[in-house]
Structure 1
Protein backbone atom coordinates (compact mmCIF):
# COMPACT_ATOMS: atom_id res chain seq x y z
CA UNK A 1 0.00 0.00 0.00
CA UNK A 2 1.32 3.46 -0.90
CA UNK A 3 1.91 5.93 1.89
CA UNK A 4 0.89 9.58 1.77
CA UNK A 5 4.54 10.80 1.44
CA UNK A 6 5.07 8.37 -1.46
CA UNK A 7 1.93 9.61 -3.22
CA UNK A 8 2.97 13.23 -2.68
CA UNK A 9 6.42 12.55 -4.09
CA UNK A 10 4.86 10.90 -7.15
CA UNK A 11 1.93 13.21 -7.93
CA UNK A 12 2.95 16.68 -6.72
CA UNK A 13 5.88 17.29 -9.12
CA UNK A 14 3.70 16.46 -12.14
CA UNK A 15 0.91 18.75 -10.95
CA UNK A 16 3.30 21.61 -10.27
CA UNK A 17 4.99 21.21 -13.62
CA UNK A 18 1.75 21.31 -15.59
CA UNK A 19 0.51 24.28 -13.55
CA UNK A 20 3.61 26.40 -14.02
CA UNK A 21 5.19 25.66 -17.41
CA UNK A 22 3.56 26.89 -20.62
CA UNK A 23 3.08 24.14 -23.20
CA UNK A 24 5.19 26.04 -25.74
CA UNK A 25 8.16 26.48 -23.39
CA UNK A 26 9.47 23.00 -24.16
CA UNK A 27 9.66 23.77 -27.89
CA UNK A 28 11.17 27.28 -27.69
CA UNK A 29 14.64 27.59 -29.23
CA UNK A 30 17.48 28.53 -26.91
CA UNK A 31 18.75 31.98 -27.80
CA UNK A 32 21.22 34.57 -26.59
CA UNK A 33 20.77 38.01 -25.11
CA UNK A 34 21.09 40.63 -27.85
CA UNK A 35 22.80 42.95 -25.33
CA UNK A 36 25.18 40.78 -23.31
CA UNK A 37 25.65 40.52 -20.38
CA UNK A 38 21.96 40.11 -19.46
CA UNK A 39 20.58 43.66 -19.29
CA UNK A 40 17.83 45.21 -17.21
CA UNK A 41 14.38 44.66 -18.71
CA UNK A 42 12.91 48.18 -18.69
CA UNK A 43 9.52 47.27 -20.20
CA UNK A 44 8.19 43.69 -20.43
CA UNK A 45 6.22 42.05 -23.22
CA UNK A 46 2.45 42.73 -23.26
CA UNK A 47 0.71 40.75 -26.00
CA UNK A 48 -2.00 42.69 -27.88
CA UNK A 49 -5.51 41.25 -27.74
CA UNK A 50 -6.01 41.90 -31.44
CA UNK A 51 -3.93 42.75 -34.52
CA UNK A 52 -4.31 46.50 -34.04
CA UNK A 53 -4.92 46.46 -30.29
CA UNK A 54 -2.75 48.12 -27.66
CA UNK A 55 0.17 46.27 -26.13
CA UNK A 56 3.95 46.10 -26.08
CA UNK A 57 5.03 43.81 -28.91
CA UNK A 58 8.47 43.03 -27.52
CA UNK A 59 10.69 43.93 -24.58
CA UNK A 60 12.87 46.98 -23.93
CA UNK A 61 16.39 46.18 -22.75
CA UNK A 62 18.52 48.89 -21.15
CA UNK A 63 21.81 49.50 -22.94
CA UNK A 64 24.29 52.20 -23.87
CA UNK A 65 24.49 54.22 -27.10
CA UNK A 66 26.89 52.51 -29.48
CA UNK A 67 26.73 49.16 -27.64
CA UNK A 68 26.99 46.17 -30.01
CA UNK A 69 23.68 44.42 -30.67
CA UNK A 70 23.85 40.69 -31.40
CA UNK A 71 21.57 38.18 -33.11
CA UNK A 72 19.57 36.21 -30.58
CA UNK A 73 19.24 33.15 -32.85
CA UNK A 74 20.93 31.94 -36.03
CA UNK A 75 19.20 33.13 -39.17
CA UNK A 76 19.22 35.32 -42.26
CA UNK A 77 18.91 39.11 -42.34
CA UNK A 78 15.73 40.05 -44.23
CA UNK A 79 15.52 43.79 -43.53
CA UNK A 80 17.90 46.61 -42.65
CA UNK A 81 16.46 50.11 -42.84
CA UNK A 82 14.55 52.89 -41.17
CA UNK A 83 10.95 52.68 -39.98
CA UNK A 84 9.35 55.71 -38.30
CA UNK A 85 12.77 57.30 -37.89
CA UNK A 86 14.30 54.27 -36.17
CA UNK A 87 16.97 51.95 -37.53
CA UNK A 88 15.51 48.42 -37.69
CA UNK A 89 17.10 45.03 -38.33
CA UNK A 90 14.98 41.91 -38.92
CA UNK A 91 16.47 38.40 -38.79
CA UNK A 92 14.47 35.44 -40.13
CA UNK A 93 14.73 32.10 -38.31
CA UNK A 94 12.34 30.01 -40.41
CA UNK A 95 8.98 29.91 -38.59
CA UNK A 96 9.86 33.00 -36.55
CA UNK A 97 11.82 36.24 -36.85
CA UNK A 98 13.42 38.64 -34.40
CA UNK A 99 13.43 42.43 -34.66
CA UNK A 100 15.87 44.93 -33.18
CA UNK A 101 15.49 48.73 -32.92
CA UNK A 102 16.89 51.38 -32.84
CA UNK A 103 19.99 49.87 -34.44
CA UNK A 104 22.54 51.31 -36.88
CA UNK A 105 23.66 48.48 -39.14
CA UNK A 106 25.72 48.03 -42.29
CA UNK A 107 24.52 44.46 -42.88
CA UNK A 108 22.89 43.60 -46.20
CA UNK A 109 19.69 41.55 -46.52
CA UNK A 110 20.52 37.93 -47.21
CA UNK A 111 23.46 37.82 -44.78
CA UNK A 112 23.58 34.59 -42.75
CA UNK A 113 24.19 34.97 -39.02
CA UNK A 114 25.07 32.67 -36.15
CA UNK A 115 23.56 33.29 -32.72
CA UNK A 116 25.64 35.99 -31.06
CA UNK A 117 26.92 37.56 -34.30
CA UNK A 118 26.92 41.39 -34.23
CA UNK A 119 24.14 43.00 -36.27
CA UNK A 120 24.86 46.66 -35.51
CA UNK A 121 25.06 49.18 -32.68
CA UNK A 122 22.39 50.49 -30.35
CA UNK A 123 21.14 53.98 -31.16
CA UNK A 124 19.68 56.63 -28.91
CA UNK A 125 17.37 58.33 -31.41
CA UNK A 126 14.03 56.50 -31.35
CA UNK A 127 14.73 54.75 -28.03
CA UNK A 128 11.60 53.85 -26.05
CA UNK A 129 13.58 54.83 -22.92
CA UNK A 130 14.85 58.22 -24.10
CA UNK A 131 16.97 59.92 -22.75
CA UNK A 132 18.39 56.48 -21.91
CA UNK A 133 19.20 54.02 -24.68
CA UNK A 134 17.29 50.78 -24.82
CA UNK A 135 16.84 48.07 -27.40
CA UNK A 136 13.30 47.16 -28.41
CA UNK A 137 13.60 43.41 -29.09
CA UNK A 138 10.72 41.59 -30.73
CA UNK A 139 9.94 37.99 -31.67
CA UNK A 140 7.21 37.17 -34.20
CA UNK A 141 5.78 33.89 -35.50
CA UNK A 142 4.15 33.95 -38.94
CA UNK A 143 2.82 37.32 -40.03
CA UNK A 144 1.42 38.83 -36.84
CA UNK A 145 1.71 36.51 -33.83
CA UNK A 146 3.88 38.34 -31.31
CA UNK A 147 5.79 36.24 -28.78
CA UNK A 148 7.70 37.16 -25.64
CA UNK A 149 11.39 37.21 -26.69
CA UNK A 150 12.45 36.60 -23.08
CA UNK A 151 11.34 32.99 -23.64
CA UNK A 152 14.45 32.64 -25.83
CA UNK A 153 16.68 33.34 -22.84
CA UNK A 154 14.80 31.43 -20.17
CA UNK A 155 12.26 34.11 -19.33
CA UNK A 156 14.75 36.68 -18.12
CA UNK A 157 16.10 37.23 -14.62
CA UNK A 158 14.36 35.05 -12.03
CA UNK A 159 13.85 36.12 -8.44
CA UNK A 160 12.64 33.33 -6.15
CA UNK A 161 10.00 34.23 -3.58
CA UNK A 162 8.54 32.23 -0.71
CA UNK A 163 5.61 30.01 -1.71
CA UNK A 164 3.24 32.30 0.20
CA UNK A 165 4.63 35.43 -1.47
CA UNK A 166 6.13 38.43 0.27
CA UNK A 167 4.70 39.62 3.61
CA UNK A 168 2.00 42.26 3.33
CA UNK A 169 2.75 45.74 4.70
CA UNK A 170 1.20 46.60 8.06
CA UNK A 171 -2.09 48.49 8.06
CA UNK A 172 -1.49 52.22 7.64
CA UNK A 173 2.03 51.62 6.31
CA UNK A 174 3.21 53.67 3.34
CA UNK A 175 5.01 50.65 1.88
CA UNK A 176 3.97 49.57 -1.60
CA UNK A 177 2.04 46.30 -1.70
CA UNK A 178 4.11 43.47 -3.20
CA UNK A 179 3.33 41.87 -6.52
CA UNK A 180 1.40 38.62 -6.53
CA UNK A 181 3.48 35.52 -5.90
CA UNK A 182 4.85 33.85 -9.03
CA UNK A 183 3.69 30.58 -7.49
CA UNK A 184 0.03 31.60 -7.63
CA UNK A 185 -0.57 29.18 -10.52
CA UNK A 186 0.51 26.29 -8.30
CA UNK A 187 -2.06 26.93 -5.60
CA UNK A 188 -5.07 25.27 -7.32
CA UNK A 189 -3.09 22.06 -7.91
CA UNK A 190 -1.72 22.01 -4.35
CA UNK A 191 -5.19 22.74 -2.91
CA UNK A 192 -6.74 20.01 -5.05
CA UNK A 193 -4.17 17.53 -3.79
CA UNK A 194 -4.72 18.63 -0.17
CA UNK A 195 -8.50 18.26 -0.60
CA UNK A 196 -8.03 14.79 -2.07
CA UNK A 197 -5.98 13.65 0.94
CA UNK A 198 -8.44 15.26 3.38
CA UNK A 199 -11.29 13.28 1.81
Structure 2
Protein backbone atom coordinates (compact mmCIF):
# COMPACT_ATOMS: atom_id res chain seq x y z
CA UNK A 1 0.00 0.00 0.00
CA UNK A 2 1.46 3.24 -1.11
CA UNK A 3 1.49 5.88 1.67
CA UNK A 4 -0.41 9.12 0.88
CA UNK A 5 1.59 12.21 0.08
CA UNK A 6 0.82 15.23 2.36
CA UNK A 7 1.57 18.80 1.39
CA UNK A 8 3.81 20.44 3.99
CA UNK A 9 1.63 22.84 5.95
CA UNK A 10 4.20 23.98 8.48
CA UNK A 11 5.40 27.26 6.82
CA UNK A 12 1.90 28.26 5.76
CA UNK A 13 0.49 27.55 9.18
CA UNK A 14 3.23 29.54 10.86
CA UNK A 15 2.64 32.51 8.50
CA UNK A 16 -1.10 32.44 9.16
CA UNK A 17 -0.50 32.26 12.91
CA UNK A 18 1.94 35.17 12.76
CA UNK A 19 -0.58 37.29 10.81
CA UNK A 20 -3.32 36.44 13.31
CA UNK A 21 -1.10 37.39 16.27
CA UNK A 22 -0.08 40.67 14.60
CA UNK A 23 -3.72 41.55 14.06
CA UNK A 24 -4.58 40.67 17.66
CA UNK A 25 -1.76 42.85 19.00
CA UNK A 26 -2.83 45.75 16.75
CA UNK A 27 -6.39 45.48 18.03
CA UNK A 28 -5.19 45.48 21.63
CA UNK A 29 -3.01 48.54 21.04
CA UNK A 30 -5.61 50.46 19.05
CA UNK A 31 -8.55 49.61 21.30
CA UNK A 32 -7.73 52.12 24.07
CA UNK A 33 -7.24 54.90 21.49
CA UNK A 34 -10.50 54.07 19.76
CA UNK A 35 -12.38 53.97 23.07
CA UNK A 36 -11.05 57.42 23.91
CA UNK A 37 -12.73 58.78 20.77
CA UNK A 38 -16.05 57.15 21.51
CA UNK A 39 -18.91 58.88 23.30
CA UNK A 40 -19.83 62.57 23.41
CA UNK A 41 -17.19 65.27 23.13
CA UNK A 42 -16.04 66.85 26.40
CA UNK A 43 -17.73 70.12 27.29
CA UNK A 44 -15.27 72.97 27.23
CA UNK A 45 -15.30 76.76 27.24
CA UNK A 46 -14.07 79.33 24.77
CA UNK A 47 -10.42 80.23 25.43
CA UNK A 48 -11.33 83.93 25.08
CA UNK A 49 -14.03 85.99 26.76
CA UNK A 50 -16.44 87.19 25.61
CA UNK A 51 -17.11 84.45 23.06
CA UNK A 52 -14.92 85.36 20.07
CA UNK A 53 -15.62 85.37 16.35
CA UNK A 54 -13.96 82.68 14.24
CA UNK A 55 -11.86 84.17 11.46
CA UNK A 56 -10.45 80.87 10.12
CA UNK A 57 -12.03 77.45 10.54
CA UNK A 58 -10.56 73.98 10.96
CA UNK A 59 -9.35 72.43 7.70
CA UNK A 60 -7.45 69.19 8.39
CA UNK A 61 -4.73 68.14 5.92
CA UNK A 62 -5.15 65.10 3.69
CA UNK A 63 -1.84 63.69 4.94
CA UNK A 64 0.51 64.14 7.89
CA UNK A 65 2.61 66.67 5.97
CA UNK A 66 -0.11 68.10 3.74
CA UNK A 67 -1.37 71.65 3.66
CA UNK A 68 -4.29 72.55 5.88
CA UNK A 69 -5.37 74.52 8.93
CA UNK A 70 -4.84 72.40 12.03
CA UNK A 71 -7.03 74.45 14.34
CA UNK A 72 -9.14 77.60 14.37
CA UNK A 73 -8.22 81.27 14.55
CA UNK A 74 -10.22 83.43 16.94
CA UNK A 75 -10.44 87.22 16.67
CA UNK A 76 -8.81 88.83 19.69
CA UNK A 77 -6.80 91.80 20.88
CA UNK A 78 -3.17 91.83 21.93
CA UNK A 79 -2.80 91.36 25.68
CA UNK A 80 -6.18 89.64 26.05
CA UNK A 81 -6.28 86.88 28.71
CA UNK A 82 -6.27 83.32 27.32
CA UNK A 83 -8.09 80.54 29.19
CA UNK A 84 -7.84 76.75 29.19
CA UNK A 85 -10.74 75.24 27.27
CA UNK A 86 -10.70 72.13 29.49
CA UNK A 87 -9.27 71.27 32.86
CA UNK A 88 -5.88 69.59 32.65
CA UNK A 89 -2.14 69.78 33.18
CA UNK A 90 0.29 72.08 31.40
CA UNK A 91 2.57 69.92 29.27
CA UNK A 92 4.39 72.79 27.53
CA UNK A 93 4.78 76.51 28.19
CA UNK A 94 7.46 78.23 26.18
CA UNK A 95 8.56 79.42 22.77
CA UNK A 96 8.40 77.44 19.53
CA UNK A 97 9.54 78.87 16.19
CA UNK A 98 9.61 82.37 17.67
CA UNK A 99 6.08 82.35 19.12
CA UNK A 100 4.79 81.62 22.59
CA UNK A 101 2.90 78.34 22.92
CA UNK A 102 0.96 76.76 25.77
CA UNK A 103 -0.17 73.12 25.63
CA UNK A 104 -2.60 71.64 28.15
CA UNK A 105 -3.07 67.87 28.41
CA UNK A 106 -6.48 66.36 29.11
CA UNK A 107 -5.90 62.61 29.32
CA UNK A 108 -5.89 61.28 25.74
CA UNK A 109 -6.15 64.74 24.19
CA UNK A 110 -4.42 68.09 24.47
CA UNK A 111 -5.29 71.66 23.51
CA UNK A 112 -2.81 74.19 22.12
CA UNK A 113 -2.82 77.98 22.27
CA UNK A 114 -0.60 80.41 20.35
CA UNK A 115 0.86 83.00 20.26
CA UNK A 116 0.61 83.30 24.04
CA UNK A 117 2.82 84.63 26.82
CA UNK A 118 2.39 81.91 29.44
CA UNK A 119 1.33 82.69 33.00
CA UNK A 120 1.50 79.00 33.95
CA UNK A 121 4.40 76.60 34.32
CA UNK A 122 5.11 73.08 33.11
CA UNK A 123 3.27 70.51 35.22
CA UNK A 124 0.81 73.01 36.67
CA UNK A 125 -2.83 71.97 36.97
CA UNK A 126 -5.38 74.32 35.46
CA UNK A 127 -9.15 74.43 35.80
CA UNK A 128 -11.54 74.72 32.89
CA UNK A 129 -11.62 78.42 32.10
CA UNK A 130 -8.50 79.07 34.16
CA UNK A 131 -6.10 81.69 32.83
CA UNK A 132 -3.00 80.28 31.15
CA UNK A 133 -1.51 83.38 29.53
CA UNK A 134 -1.99 86.56 27.52
CA UNK A 135 -2.27 86.88 23.77
CA UNK A 136 0.73 88.15 21.81
CA UNK A 137 0.69 90.03 18.53
CA UNK A 138 4.04 88.73 17.18
CA UNK A 139 3.53 85.32 15.65
CA UNK A 140 -0.17 85.88 15.02
CA UNK A 141 -1.70 83.75 12.25
CA UNK A 142 -3.71 86.85 11.30
CA UNK A 143 -0.87 89.40 11.44
CA UNK A 144 -1.03 92.42 11.48
CA UNK A 145 -4.22 91.66 13.40
CA UNK A 146 -4.11 89.75 16.66
CA UNK A 147 -5.84 86.37 16.85
CA UNK A 148 -5.56 83.19 18.88
CA UNK A 149 -4.74 79.94 17.09
CA UNK A 150 -6.50 77.22 19.08
CA UNK A 151 -5.93 73.52 18.43
CA UNK A 152 -7.15 70.18 19.76
CA UNK A 153 -5.14 66.99 19.24
CA UNK A 154 -5.57 63.31 20.04
CA UNK A 155 -2.27 61.48 19.65
CA UNK A 156 -1.12 62.73 16.23
CA UNK A 157 -4.63 63.41 14.96
CA UNK A 158 -5.89 66.98 14.79
CA UNK A 159 -9.50 67.55 15.80
CA UNK A 160 -11.82 70.53 15.42
CA UNK A 161 -11.65 72.46 18.72
CA UNK A 162 -15.05 74.03 18.04
CA UNK A 163 -16.50 70.63 19.01
CA UNK A 164 -15.54 71.52 22.60
CA UNK A 165 -17.97 74.44 22.55
CA UNK A 166 -20.77 72.74 20.65
CA UNK A 167 -19.62 73.85 17.23
CA UNK A 168 -19.86 77.50 18.13
CA UNK A 169 -20.86 80.45 15.97
CA UNK A 170 -18.67 80.91 12.91
CA UNK A 171 -18.44 84.27 11.23
CA UNK A 172 -15.60 84.47 8.77
CA UNK A 173 -14.15 87.96 8.72
CA UNK A 174 -11.85 89.38 6.04
CA UNK A 175 -8.64 90.12 7.86
CA UNK A 176 -8.21 93.43 6.03
CA UNK A 177 -11.62 94.79 7.04
CA UNK A 178 -11.23 98.24 8.61
CA UNK A 179 -7.63 97.48 9.43
CA UNK A 180 -6.06 100.30 11.45
CA UNK A 181 -2.47 101.30 10.81
CA UNK A 182 -0.62 101.53 14.12
CA UNK A 183 0.91 104.95 14.68
CA UNK A 184 1.46 107.67 17.30
CA UNK A 185 -1.82 109.36 16.38
CA UNK A 186 -5.20 108.13 15.29
CA UNK A 187 -4.51 106.13 12.17
CA UNK A 188 -6.51 106.12 8.96
CA UNK A 189 -8.63 103.13 8.06
CA UNK A 190 -7.65 100.95 5.15
CA UNK A 191 -10.63 99.63 3.21
CA UNK A 192 -10.88 97.14 0.39
CA UNK A 193 -10.50 98.72 -3.04
CA UNK A 194 -9.61 97.82 -6.61
CA UNK A 195 -6.70 95.49 -7.08
CA UNK A 196 -3.40 97.29 -7.68
CA UNK A 197 -2.03 97.48 -11.21
CA UNK A 198 0.54 94.77 -11.72
CA UNK A 199 3.48 95.38 -14.05
CA UNK A 200 4.39 92.37 -16.16
CA UNK A 201 7.96 91.10 -15.68
CA UNK A 202 10.44 92.01 -18.44
CA UNK A 203 10.97 89.52 -21.24
CA UNK A 204 14.34 88.27 -22.47
CA UNK A 205 14.26 90.41 -25.68
CA UNK A 206 13.58 93.55 -23.65
CA UNK A 207 16.41 92.71 -21.26
CA UNK A 208 18.84 92.15 -24.17
CA UNK A 209 17.79 95.44 -25.71
CA UNK A 210 18.39 97.19 -22.39
CA UNK A 211 21.86 95.62 -22.08
CA UNK A 212 22.78 96.76 -25.62
CA UNK A 213 21.61 100.27 -24.71
CA UNK A 214 23.84 100.29 -21.64
CA UNK A 215 26.81 99.02 -23.65
CA UNK A 216 26.63 101.90 -26.16
CA UNK A 217 26.10 104.53 -23.52
2:66 equivalent to 1:58: no
User: Structure 1 residue 151 and structure 2 residue 159: aligned?
Assistant: no
SS at match of 1:27: coil
Asked whether 1:135 is paired with 2:148, we answer yes
Question: Does the Cα contact within 8 Å between 1:66 and 1:123 map onto a contact in 2?
Answer: yes
1:117 matched to 2:130: yes
Tell me the SS of whatever aligns to 1:139.
strand
Q: 2:165 & 2:38 partners in 1: Cα distance?
A: 11
- When residues 69 and 25 of structure 1 are mapped into structure 2, their CA distance, relative to the original with a 3 A threshold, is farther
Contact 1:25 1:151 in 2 (8 A): no
Match of 1:170 in 2: none
State the shift of 1:25 in Å: 9.0
Cα deviation for residue 38 of structure 1 reads 1.1
Please show how residues 31-50 of structure 1 align to structure 2 within 5 Å: 31-50=44-63
In structure 2, do the counterparts of structure 1 residues 69 and 76 end up closer, same or farther at CA, with 3 Å as the change threshold? same
User: Cα RMSD (Å) of the superposition?
Assistant: 1.5
Report the TM-score, using the length of structure 1 for normalisation.
0.65
Q: Alpha-carbon deviation of 1:119?
A: 0.2
Runs of 5+ unmatched residues, structure 1: 1-23, 160-199
| TM value normalised by structure 2 | 0.60
Tell me the alpha carbon deviations over residues 15-66 of structure 1, each in whole angstroms, 9 at most, x when there is no partner.
xxxxxxxxx7951000000011111101000011111111000000000000
Question: What 5-or-longer segments of structure 2 have no aligned partner?
Answer: 1-36, 172-217
Larger Cα-atom Rg: 2
CA contact (8 A) 1:31 1:72 kept: yes
Q: How many residues align?
A: 135
SS in 1 for 2:163: helix
How many Å separate the matches in 1 of 2:74 and 2:102?
Answer: 16
Matched, 1:72 2:85: yes
Q: Does the 8 A contact of 2:84 with 2:131 survive in 1?
A: yes
The answer to which structure, 1 or 2, has the higher relative contact order (CA under 8 A, 6+ apart) is: 1
Structure 1 runs, 4 residues or longer, greater than 6 Å off: none
Correspondences of 1:93-108 after superposition (within 5 Å): 93-108=106-121
Query: Deviations along 1:129-186, whole A, 9 cap, x unmatched?
Result: 11110000000001x1000000000101179xxxxxxxxxxxxxxxxxxxxxxxxxxx
Match of 1:168 in 2: none
